[in-house]
Each structure stands twice: as structure tokens, then as C-alpha cells.
């Protein structure tokens, strides 16, 4: 779905990513190693997401012929989750993908004592006229922004019998908030504000949710 946003073109991809006009692919909140972090604390949650999520991201890059990847924050979940296996996994993935990968630091990433040395990390970045920053609270209000961090979820109900809870893109004024990309991440139902628009992709296309169906 193509969205004209403050004179910039954003393409919302069903796989929870945004493609900018210069074919920069933006995703947020991967939370790699989250299951590992749980395991380290004695909770038996199976690992498997991290590599599956990276493969999924790779497929999207191919499909949309991306020229660059920006991870808009929270690539890693926590220090306990940044195991050598995860680090190696990511390094291999980046070398096979063959695209420049930039990391915008998220609140979770900042807790790490060190980041892998081969990873470029910035606090915010601009591509194709769009400002990319992790926390919507840090967004400037006069330029188009793509942010993440909130893990927005739309609550959709017809008021009769069906009610759904779907990860969504949230467009609020000049900021587009990405749904969280990682499959082992939760979400928070959006506290709606006047003028908010939400987009979901329960199937293979992105659809805007009519306000009437939002709860």
C-alpha cells in the first residue's frame, strides 16, 4: 500500500516493514535473542525466532529489491540475550544479504555494554527525506518521521461478535509508527487520538482500518 506522507512516498509492506522512495527498507523492534534471555533466567521458552525472523527479513528485501536496510531500534532484546550464537547468526546473515545495514539505536540496544563491532549504529538517520528514529517521543514535528518502539496493535471489533487484535502501522500527524517486526514480541493496543489512522495486514495486503471498526 502506497502512502503519501508529507510529500514523501512510503510503501507499507504486509510483512511489517516500510519501503522508502530510495528503496530503503525500514523495520523496527526485532528483539533478537529474547527467548535466549528468558532461558537464561530459567524460563523454558524455545529459541527459533531469531533466525526465522532474519530469514523473513531477507525474503522481504529480495521481494521489494531493497537497496538498504535500516533497523529502527531494538535489534537486540537484552544483554542476556546477546549470546555468541546470536551474534554469529546476525553476522552471517548480514554478509549473505549483501546490503548495507544501519542500526538506529533503541532503548533496548542502549542497555547493551557493547554492540558487535561490525555494526553501524546511530541515534537517528535520514533517508529519502524521511527522518528515522526509534522512539516517537524523539520525533521532530516538522518532517515526515518513521518510528517504532510502541509495538502498536489495533483492536478491531464489529460490536457484534467478532473482535480481533492485530499488529498495525499507526499514522499520527507526521509520524508513522511501525508494528514490531520480531515474532516473539508483544504489542500494546493503541490509545487512540483524534486523526489517527491505522493499517493492518491480516493477509497478504495492507488495508486501512475504517474508524468504525476500531475500538
Partner 1 sequence: MPANPLQPFFKQRGWRPFPFQKETWKAYAGGKSGLLHAPTGQGKTLAVWLGPVAEALKERPDGCSVVWLTPLRALAQDTLRSLREPLEVLAPQLQVEARTGDTTSAVRARLRKRLPFGLVTTPESLSLMLTHDDTREKLAGLRAVIVDEWHELLGTKRGVQTELCLARLRAWFPELRVWGLSATLGNLDEARDVLLGSAAPGAVTVSADLKKEIRIDTLIPKEIDRFPWSGHLGTRLAPQVVRELEKANSTLLFTNTRSQTELWFQELLSLRPDWQEVIAMHHGSLDRAEREKVEQGLREGRLRCVVCTSSLDLGVDFSPVDQVLQVGSPKGIARLLQRAGRSGHQPGKVSRVLGVPTHAMELVEFAAARDAALARHIEARRPLLKPLDVLVQHLVTCAIGEPFQPDAMRQEIQLTHAYRDLTDTEWEWSLGFISSGGRALAAYPRYQKARLENGRFTVDDKRLIQQHRMSIGTISADAHVSVRFASGQTLGTVEEGFISRLKPGNLLIFAGRKLELVRFHQRIATVRPAKRDAKGNVAIWGGAKMPLSTELAHATAARLRGEGPPSAEMKAVAPILEIQRRWSAVPDDRILLVEHTRSRNDEHLFVYPLAGRLVHEGLGALMAYRLRLNQGVAITQNDYGFCLTARRGLHLSEQIIRLNLSPDNLLEDVIACMNTAELARRQFHQVARVAGLILQQLPGRQQRGQRELQASSRLLFEVLERYDPDNLLLLQSQREILEKQLEYSRLRESLLDLQQRPIRLIETDHLTPMAFPLWAEQFFATMPGGGDAASQFEQMLQELQTAAAS
Of the candidates 88, 93, 47, the residue with the CA atom closest to the CA atom of residue 71:
93
Please state, in angstroms and rounded to a whole number, the distance separating the CA atoms of residues 111 and 109.
5
Stretch that binds partner 1, among 97-105, 120-128, 137-145, 155-163 (CB under 8 A): 155-163
Q: How far apart are CB 46 and partner 1 at their closest, in Å?
A: 4
Alpha carbons 156 and 166: distance in angstroms, whole number: 8
Window contacting partner 1 (CB under 8 A); options: 3-11, 59-67, 117-125, 198-206: 198-206
Size of the chain in residues:
215
Which lies closer to partner 1 via its Cβ, residue 143 or residue 214? 214
Return the C-alpha cell found at 71: 533497523
Restricted to residues 71-130, the positions that interact with partner 1 (CB under 8 A) are 77-78, 80, 83, 85, 108
Among 184, 190, 198, 206, which residue interacts with partner 1 (rule: CB under 8 A)? Answer: 184
- Choosing from 29, 47, 109, 135, the residue that interacts with partner 1 (CB under 8 A) is 47
Stretch that binds partner 1, among 17-25, 40-48, 121-129, 142-150 (CB under 8 A): 40-48
> Which residues make Cβ contacts (< 8 Å) with residue 195, sequence separation at least 6?
172, 173
Per-residue burial over 159-196, b = 16 or more CB atoms within 10 Å of its CB, e = otherwise: eeeeeeebbbbbbbeebbbbbbbbebbebeebeeeeeb
133 is a contact residue toward partner 1 (CB under 8 A):
no
Quick one: 130 or 148, whose CB is closer to partner 1?
Answer: 148
50 within 8 A of 81, measured Cβ to Cβ: no
Minimum CB separation of residue 164 from partner 1 in Å reads 5
Out of 30, 105, 156, 198, point to the residue binding partner 1 (CB under 8 A). Answer: 156
Cβ 34 vs Cβ 184: under 8 Å: yes
Point out which residues bind partner 1 (CB under 8 A). 34-49, 52, 77-78, 80, 83, 85, 108, 156, 158, 161-164, 166, 183-186, 200, 202-203, 207, 210, 212-213
Amino acid at each position: 500500500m502506497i502512502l503519501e506522507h508529507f510529500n514523501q512516498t512510503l510503501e507499507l509492506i504486509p510483512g511489517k516493514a516500510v519501503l522508502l522512495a530510495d528503496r530503503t527498507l525500514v523495520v523496527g523492534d526485532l528483539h533478537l535473542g529474547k527467548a535466549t534471555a528468558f532461558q537464561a533466567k530459567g524460563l523454558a521458552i524455545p529459541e527459533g525466532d531469531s533466525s526465522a525472523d532474519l530469514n523473513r527479513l531477507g525474503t522481504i528485501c529480495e521481494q521489494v529489491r531493497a537497496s538498504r536496510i535500516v533497523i529502527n531500534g531494538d535489534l537486540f532484546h537484552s544483554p542476556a540475550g546477546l549470546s555468541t550464537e546470536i551474534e554469529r547468526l546476525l553476522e552471517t546473515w548480514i554478509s549473505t544479504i549483501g546490503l548495507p545495514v544501519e542500526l538506529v539505536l533503541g532503548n533496548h540496544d542502549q542497555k547493551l555494554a557493547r554492540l558487535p563491532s561490525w555494526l553501524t549504529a546511530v541515534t537517528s538517520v535520514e533517508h529519502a527525506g524521511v527522518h528515522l528514529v526509534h522512539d516517537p517521543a524523539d520525533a521532530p514535528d516538522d518532517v515526515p518521521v518513521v518510528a517504532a518502539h510502541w509495538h502498536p496493535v489495533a483492536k478491531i471489533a464489529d460490536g457484534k461478535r467478532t473482535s480481533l487484535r492485530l499488529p498495525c502501522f499507526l499514522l499520527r500527524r507526521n509520524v508513522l509508527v511501525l508494528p514490531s517486526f520480531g515474532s516473539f514480541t508483544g504489542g500494546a493496543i493503541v490509545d487512540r487520538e483524534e486523526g489517527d489512522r491505522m493499517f493492518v495486514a491480516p493477509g497478504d495486503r495492507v488495508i486501512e482500518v475504517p474508524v468504525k471498526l476500531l475500538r
